[in-house]
Structure 1
Amino acid sequence: MLAGKIMLESGAETYRVEDTMNRIASAFGLENAQSYATPTGINFAIDFAESTNFIRISNRSTDLHKIAEVNNLSRKITAGEVKLSSAPALLDRIDKAKLTFPGWIQIIAAALVSGSFTIMFGGVWPDYFPSVVVGGVGFAAMLGIDRLVEIRFIAEFFASLLIGAMAVGFVYSGLGVGLDKIIIGAVMPLVPGLHITNAVRDLMAGHLVAGVSKGVEAVLTAFAIGAGVAVVFGFL
């Protein structure tokens, strides 16, 4: 259950979470273990008609490194390289580890990605620098607001609002050329690509509840981003 919790909180697909939990349980001698995961919780029983254990998942982010670490540990458990007595401590170490990049590195990466997407989507080179600045500031605003309100949709709305306002300022001051290209490039780091991918993969694996819920979450995120930009255009 701890392995499943780490993976769900790190953005893993629910079918991968259930598969990992079942493999670990089977490796430790539980032949009929029952696991059921949703984006907000995990149910697990050691056998049919046995009492069920439940864990609530309140916070979710994206940390592919932790998912890879749990998968690697799961393979070692299945291969018999890790004993039951040491597995909880290893999982607890992964759970408490800070494997994500620092905020300043994420902001720099988002800035460079924004400029690259602007060029890729048909922008001209004079739009590269404005897009880098707008994308970096917008992503920094999203991280800052997310820590204050802890509601990702609100953070993404105000971040896209700031991105739209700054892009308009760059273009009207003559420092930028294509308003649409700058905005498109700058909002790309906010786009919920992982959520969309996981929703499709869960639906294809037959996990309809998880797939639909993740799809709705991705749609709401996209709506928040679009609404923030739309507010700026409404004042033009």
Structure 2
Amino acid sequence: MMRHGNPTWLLIGTLPFALSACSSLAPLTGERFTLEGELPADFALKAQAHYDVANNCNGRSQARSFESDFQSTPQQYRFNIPVSYRDGLCAMRLGRVGLFIHGRYGDKDWQRTYDNGGLTLVETLPPGAPSFGADGTVTKQAECTWLFQLSKAHSRQGQISKLLNCKGAGAYLVADELPGKTVRLDFQMTGEERPYMRGYWIKTPSGWKPCTGRWGTQFEELCTEPPQFRTFQMNGQECTVYPNCTE
């Protein structure tokens, strides 16, 4: 599920936080694997590793975050994520890794959004899932696309806003094979931008035109036959087509 957010708090490194009765400042000294890859310009990534208690310790699940901040050019990221570690008397073992892929399409706080992905730990790989090669690496590629719409926010009605859609942003991994291995997950922008809602915009030789219909609202509406079009705001201009603004 796609979500919106203003992740102004992204930091490179690790940020421990705990839901545990054990210490939240436990050192990460156990077995690890590497999550690495490439991010497009104006992207950031947060990997949130979730851990379960693996012994009879009186503790609870914990989570630790690994983050790469926005850069204006493509960047390489690399996280060394523990597979297991000890927190006092608690033996903690990795259960899953959630991924938050952040993208920005402008310089305003509201011009940021994100999509989700994840690394799922399993006992055996499902059919068709790639396995680690002889070099100890598994490689996957996520393809991301911008989806545009007219903003639903009252203060930005009639302006273009975007959502991020990333396909293939994750992998199945055999838990017992993970220590010492490398998971390479590259992200790339692919294809042209398209409307978030089908049937609400019509593509013309000059670009996409938003429809209005029987209601005449501030938002795009389902196209009628024959179609009726409305204007919208982009970069302080009144526009009739996206992304060219004028026909």
Structure-2-length-normalised TM-score: 0.26
| Higher relative strand content | 2
TM-score of the two chains, using structure 1 as the length reference: 0.27
- Please identify which structure carries the higher helix content: 1
